Structure 1
Amino acid sequence: MCLHRVMDRSWMKKSRRETSYEDGVEEFLNFAYQDLPPDSEILCPCKKCKNRINQTRDEVKTHLRCDGILQGYTSWVHHGENYERPTIAFDDVPNMTTLSATGIVQGHRDGGSDSIEELLHAAFGRAAGMLEGEADDFQARFACMEHNALEDINVNSSEGDDLRRDHNIYARFLKDAHVRLYPDCKYSRLSFLVHLYHLKCLHGWSQESFASLLGLLSAVLPREANLPKTYYEAKKIIRGLGLDYVKIHACPKDCMLFRGEHAKNDVCHVCGSSRWKVVKENLSSAKPKGKRKPTKVLRYFPLIPRIQRLFSTTKTSDDMRWHEEARTKDGKLRHPADGEAWKEFDDRHPEFAADARNVRLGLASDGFNPFGNQNLKHSTWPVMLVPYNLPPWICMKQTSFMFSMIIPGPDSPGNDIDVYLQPLIDELILLWDGVETFDASSKKEFHLKAALLWTINDFPALGYLSGWSTGGTYACPACGPATKSFRLKHGKKSCYMGHRRWLPENHRYRRQRMQFDGSIETELAPKTMSVSTILKMLEGREFVLGKKVSIAKKDKKKSKNKEVADESAKKRKRKTKGQNNESNGSVSQEVKNPKDWLKKRSVFFNLPYWEQNRLRHNLDVMHLEKNVSDNFISTLLAICHKTKDDLNARLDLVELRIREDLHPVVHNDGKHTIPDAPFTMSREKKEILCSVIKNLRTPDGYASNISRCVNMKDFTLSGLKSHDNHVLLHDILPVALRSCYPSKDVMRIVVELSNFFKMLCSKVIDVDELVKLQESIVMTLCDMERTFLPSFFTVSVHLMVHLVDEVKHGGPVQYRWMYPMERYETSFSLHCCCQ
């Protein structure tokens, strides 16, 4: 009998002040210590320790009463309880880098059999599941497998070969799983190697150190143990348990992959670059010596077997139906399934929505330096997939992410990332048609489908994946050709204002010129750029991917660009002086074609459903918060080289003929004096603000040590991470500025922005409140245009006006920002030495 079915766990969700909660804590402690000495320590399951720190009984009791028990920890596997069928794909662990070795073997302290047989069942779900129920004991099942099972497989020849191979591998592992390491040992050789290899991966042991440990263990343990003595031998034994990856050679200039019809080519058919590295010894010889090495290798992790493994255990199989069967449906936004994009996708594809097991995916990618050396320029791009069927407490955990590929460095793939995504797109097309998959929950096969809903990236990577250039005149991917911007002559960058378009038609701000950009606003809010607009821009255009095309094409392109430049120069010469833009006083701008902002046809349009997706590329709230916070802090503290208020910014006001009270004053000696603006802080106020942040003490786990970023000598902040800006903008800055704000207008703007991002980042959102939130951010942006200089309005500031619509479509931002992915990438660099 499973104890977790008998014992009542409802007390875990009650208030800590209730008697039933206190009784539940006592019941939990009695259960945890039933086989342990009273003075021993156990893992503390409070919300603070999260089963990572060992504590005494009294300390655990205090923690549970003060901090509460970890929600979701309903199966007490770290305290002596066993699963009926363990969760293999998604264990409730906080982080790979912080998991203790004690937790790994905690379930074996009672001296019982380890769970290697259940792990094998999960790894070979279909092959093992077809035999389930034929016999209860191992000997009968193994004999049945060897003699009878393969004869009863009713599948086609190719599928039967795959299943027969899985049966053979499963039989070998199952046999090894019941051969003890030595007499009276609770570990088999297989389970011992699995646990040892698990520790190697968790703690970043190198292959050499792992081999040395195997050698030592072989010498210490009895001869009957028969342990492998090298890393290669150990990997050979357990290789079949994991999911393999494929190495695909790539052109060094990112033009193509050597796969399919080009798999046997030696040179790139686009640029002519060699597939192989040039070795000095082979330059003189006609025939190369030894095995040739490729110049660039893509490591691709096939998606279909990884999705199928989600259904190999009953626990994960049930979790994959959570979004339909267990989700709270009260009209509020708690999960992507509550958003308009998910519902609209289901309405457009009813056959896909009919089975709750069909998987919805999100794709995330970003470049990082795996070596952690800031002096070394290197950018490796992992691509990850997020299965959104899962409940919130599992969905965005690192253990839930599925690796898709690792795009090698040292340079970023840029717009050529489509070349590397092609194997994934091919698999997604197959998954849209469906693949046969064994469901451990129903003990039957079903037709599994999967679809990609959207991508999650920072703003530059959004441009790489969508093909829309995220810089210059039409940088906003939502407004597209309707983006309102102009080039600052002295600041030498684009300014994105024009937020009065989102105001009601009769609003007084629309008629005010000098407080804004010098023009009266008559336009209405632009509609989000549609797919039909994008496809129309792509008509008749051809794109060649790769960092460098062939010499002939390159010369032809240079010649064409020169002709276009000469033609535009002649047109500018004929232009009269009266044709300059007088509405804002700036110099005339060359009219640019929005088509030029589409650098390619995105590879995602190869998916049959991609054109109909409501939300295709998410704006990353994490990086937008960071950029907006940086703008405020650097401008308020006048941080050199980062402030948006300098002489060039004031000279742009002169060019635009607005805000005369802020124009620089020119003296007889030619020097300029910049008058104070509403956001200018005196030295005394800067000191107060910096001292508040410097002396700030926050609860453990709330934020990093932000005080280390404060320089009290120059009154500046530097080295802030994304989450530091998140905490500053949400909670610290509105409070810290109360006693030193430069003006009431600035103080009001900071408070309104803080409230906006707090509501935007809520885990539960009322849809009716989003209308008010959109009106609030529009007014805040307009007030910012009246208070701050045009140089303040980078594209990140403008993109805030689109965030509310994205929440309506995609649900809470916690499922669509880069925090989990970037933290996952940090763990990669920690394990980079694991060779």
Structure 2
Amino acid sequence: MDKSWMNKSRLSQEYVDGVEQFLDYAFNNLSSDNKIVCPCIKCKNVRWKTLEVAFDHLACDGILQGYTCWFFHGENVPLSRTSSTNTPSPSSTSHPTTNNTSTRQDGTEELLRDAFNMQHHHDAPTFFGAHPTDGMEGGNETHMGLNEEQPSEEASKFYKLLEDMNGKLYDGSKHSILYFCIHLFHLKCMCGITGKGLDYLIDFLKEFFPIATIPANSHESKKVIKDLGLGYEKIHSWPNDCMLYWEEKEMQQECHVCGASRWLPTKSTQPENVDGDQVLYKQPAKVLRYFPLIPRLQRIFMSSKTSTGMSWHANGRTKDGSLRHPADAEAWRSFDARYPDFASHPRSVRLGLSSNGFNPFKLLSTSYSTWPVVLIPYNLPPWIGMKQSSFILSMIIPGEKGPGNDIDVFMEPLIKEVKQLWAGVDTYDASLKQNF
């Protein structure tokens, strides 16, 4: 299929005709509920749109320039490179055969679909082969008769994880490198293994299973799955819990409350030479780890395994007057009466907040206290919502002492996101296959 229109001006007739051909192709191959993921610059293959809305977006905003292999819209990732002199085979743009559509038993493919908003498991294609840019020499090689461009950032992440998913742990293994790394870090989290302990475990496995393609250490393992995870932000703060160096105060060097420096005192004031430049290394006095809430809630709704339970409090629980869940309490009903618009949507998220300090070093003589702040989704049934796997870690507050009443200072990023959620954030529900 001719894709040269993607590089044309949006005002040209070639571009408009190309958009119409693309939409015809996409809706014929991958349409579900008369919607497709919109590949415009703003939607970035995340939001599901109808034909008319997708056309308006592509005509007004333009299509992602790096999205030259339309794998979100029914086109297969090529099994091998195609030279500029070869004519593409008809199978290069058709649906995969039944021999290639078997679902992976380890569930990794479904995990990738949830992570990249490809929820329609039976409608979407199965992807095989290597990264589309593998084997390029000088960027002059062509694919399907077109000059190739670097894929977009989202597509690059998908291709990398796809390569790791298809890469076997060893010859004859039923599981992939990606599956191994995911379960390795799940074991680390559930058993409280330190990073050094995980390195020892990896060395042990590599010694006894030399034929397996096991990453060199925990750092290399983390690289394999980093695009699947949800990261965190490091926000500098003052040990006296006066303020956060965040947003408009991010560039301040001193606390505007007590006037203390943002940085720890250094042993030497002499800068070090790094590649001929004078660099003075500074260590922040205190660092808050903040885990953004909105993308985590969106991931819950994007997963077909967890989205259904988010409306249990409204549609699934027994309503006989007995107190079995916070939704049965008088406070819940009072809140619903005060905000009927919020209560009318069963997918409106209700959260509980909990925090407590502990000494991570397990030594009573060590003066140190870490305060994790955890959110509990009350939408879920109690036998699921009260499990550790359902808790949402919001932030980790370190320090020699607990924040006490000054914990509200650290809540600023969370409060900002909660206000955004109250106003409304576009999200896709995988269980109902619709945006809300």
Kept in 2: contact 1:282–1:289 (CA 8 A)? no
SS of equivalent residue, structure 1 residue 376: coil
1:238 corresponds to 2:225: yes
- Supply the distance in 2 between the matched residues of 1:414 and 1:283 (Cα, whole angstroms): 37
Match of 2:163 among 151, 175, 196: 175
* Structure 1 length-normalised TM: 0.35
Contact 2:235 2:244 in 1 (8 A): yes
Q: 1:391 to 1:213 in 2, by over 3 A?
A: closer
TM-score, scaled relative to structure 2: 0.66
Q: In 1, Cα distance between the equivalents of 2:152 and 2:345? A: 29
Shift of 1:425: 0.4
Partners of 1:217 and 1:290 lie apart in 2 by 41
Cα distance change of structure 1 residues 261 and 342 upon mapping to structure 2, 3 Å threshold: same
**How far is the alpha carbon of 1:164 from its aligned partner?**
5.7
Match of 1:411 among 377, 401, 405: 401
Determine helix, strand or coil for the equivalent of 2:166.
coil
Distance in 1, matches of 2:192 and 2:385, equals 25
TM alignment of 1:444-463, pairs within 5 A: 444-446=434-436
Greater share of helix residues, 1 or 2? 1
The alpha carbon displacement at 1:175 in A equals 2.9
SS at match of 2:319: coil
d(CA) in 1 for partners of 2:393, 2:201 = 29
Q: Which residue of 1 aligns with 2:30?
A: none
Query: Are positions 1:371 and 2:361 aligned together?
Result: yes
- Structure 1 counterpart of 2:113, which letter? H
Pairing 1:269–2:256 present: yes
Cα 1:411/1:178, change in 2 over 3 Å? same
- Cross-structure match for 1:201: 189
Aligned to 2:108: 116
Once the two structures are TM-superposed, the CA of residue 179 in structure 1 deviates from its matched residue by 1.9
**CA-to-partner distance for each residue in 1:463-518, whole Å, 9 max, x for gaps?**
xxxxxxxxxxxxxxxxxxxxxxxxxxxxxxxxxxxxxxxxxxxxxxxxxxxxxxxx
Report Cα offsets for 1:646-700 as digits up to 9, x if no partner. Answer: xxxxxxxxxxxxxxxxxxxxxxxxxxxxxxxxxxxxxxxxxxxxxxxxxxxxxxx
2:128 matched residue in structure 1: 139
- Unpaired runs of at least 5, structure 1: 1-111, 149-162, 447-835
1:333-344 maps to which residues of 2 (within 5 A)?
Answer: 333-344=323-334
**Which residue identity lines up with residue 139 of structure 1 in the other structure?**
F
* Aligned ranges 1:307-322 → 2 under 5 Å: 307-322=297-312
Larger Rg: 1
1:255 corresponding residue in structure 2 = 242
Q: Is the 8 A contact 1:298 1:406 kept in 2?
A: yes
Q: Which amino acid aligns with 1:119?
A: L
The residue number in structure 1 matching 2:7 is none
Instruction: Name the CA distance, whole Å, in 2 between partners of 1:220 and 1:398.
Output: 33
- SS of the residue 1:385 aligns to: strand
Q: Secondary structure at the match of 1:320?
A: helix
**Cα distance in 2 between the residues matched to 1:276 and 1:199:** 36
SS at the partner of 2:411?
Answer: helix
Amino acid at match of 2:368: H
2:180 to 192, 209, 212: 192
Equivalent position of 2:215 in the other structure: 228
Contact 2:110 2:121 in 1 (8 A): no
Counterpart CA distance in 2 for 1:362 and 1:138 is 40
Q: In structure 2, how many angstroms separate the alpha carbons of the residues matched to 1:420 and 1:379? A: 15
How far apart are the structure 1 equivalents of 2:340 and 2:155?
A: 36
Partner of 2:29: none
Cα distance, 1:228 vs structure 2? 2.3
Instruction: Name the amino acid aligned to 2:396.
Output: I
Q: 1:348 to 1:204 in 2, by over 3 A?
A: closer
1: CA distance between counterparts of 2:159 and 2:425?
A: 25
Residue in 1 aligned with 2:380?
390
**C-alpha distance in 2 between matches for 1:445 and 1:430:** 17
Over the residues paired in the alignment, what is the CA RMSD in angstroms? Answer: 2.9
Q: 1:427 aligns with which of 414, 417, 421?
A: 417
Amino acid at match of 1:116: T
1:288–1:375 CA distance, 2 compared to 1 (3 A): farther
Residues 271-325 of structure 1: CA deviation (Å, up to 9, x unaligned): 111111111112799x985431101011111111111122122231111111111
Partner of 1:722: none
Say whether the 8 Å CA contact 1:252–1:273 is kept in structure 2.
no
8 Å contact kept, 1:121–1:312: no
Q: One-letter code of the match for 2:377?
A: P
Question: Per the alignment, in what secondary structure is the counterpart of residue 247 of structure 1?
Answer: strand
The equivalent residue for 2:322 is 332
Shift of residue 226, structure 1, vs aligned partner: 4.0
Structure 1 residues 359 and 135: CA distance shift in structure 2, 3 A: closer
CA distance in 1, matches of 2:403, 2:190: 30
Within 2, Cα distance between the matches of 1:392 and 1:379? 30
In 2, the alpha carbon distance for the partners of 1:178 and 1:134 equals: 21
Cα shift at 1:167? 4.0
Evaluate the alpha carbon distance shift between residue 208 and residue 376 of structure 1 in structure 2; reply closer, same or farther with a 3 A threshold: closer
Give the Cα–Cα distance (whole angstroms) in 1 for the partners of residues 155 and 315 of structure 2: 33
What is the rounded CA distance, in whole Å, between the counterparts of 1:284 and 1:230 in structure 2?
A: 33
Flag the 1:373–1:165 CA change in 2: closer, same or farther, 3 A. same
Amino acid corresponding to residue 269 of structure 1 in structure 2: H
Correspondences of 1:631-670 after superposition (within 5 Å)? none
- 5+ residue gaps, structure 2, are 1-103, 133-142, 145-150
- State the shift of 1:240 in Å: 1.5
Aligned residues: 313
Aligned pair in 2 of structure 1 residues 404, 135: CA closer, same or farther (>3 Å)? closer
* Cα displacement string for residues 390-415 of structure 1 (whole angstroms, at most 9, x for unaligned residues): 11211222222111111112112122
In structure 2, distance between residues paired with 1:398 and 1:202: 9
Shift of 1:197: 2.3
- Judging changes above 3 Å, is the alpha-carbon distance between structure 1 residues 204 and 391 closer, same or farther for their aligned structure 2 residues? closer
Q: Identity rate of aligned residues, in percent? A: 50
Post-superposition CA distance 1:532-577 (Å, at most 9, x none): xxxxxxxxxxxxxxxxxxxxxxxxxxxxxxxxxxxxxxxxxxxxxx
Task: Name the CA distance, whole Å, in 2 between partners of 1:419 and 1:278.
Answer: 24
| Structure 1 residues 443 and 374: CA distance shift in structure 2, 3 A | same
Deviation at 1:360, TM superposition (A): 0.6
Q: Structure 1 residues 327 and 178, CA, compared in 2 at 3 Å: closer, same or farther?
A: same
Q: Distance in 2 between matches of 1:281 and 1:271?
A: 25
**Structure 1 position 357, deviation (Å):** 0.8
Note if contact 2:164-2:224 (Cα within 8 Å) is conserved in structure 1: no
- For 2:234 and 2:179, the matched residues in 1 are separated by 29
* Cα distance in 1, alignment partners of residues 382 and 205 from structure 2: 42
Cα pair distance change 1:261/1:383, threshold 3 Å: same
Seen in structure 2, the aligned counterparts of structure 1 residues 177 and 284 have a Cα distance that, compared at 3 Å, is closer
Shift of 1:243: 1.3
Task: Write out per-residue CA displacement over residues 66-85 of structure 1, whole angstroms, 9 at most, x where no aligned residue.
Answer: xxxxxxxxxxxxxxxxxxxx
Output one character per residue of 1:317-376: Cα deviation in whole Å (capped at 9) or x when no partner.
Answer: 111111111111112222111122211222222221221011111111222222222233
1:611-641 Cα distance to aligned partner (Å, 9 max, x none): xxxxxxxxxxxxxxxxxxxxxxxxxxxxxxx
Query: Aligned match of 1:214 in 202, 207, 225?
Result: 202
Q: Check if 1:400 corresponds to 2:400.
A: no
Q: Where does residue 461 of structure 1 map in the other structure?
A: none
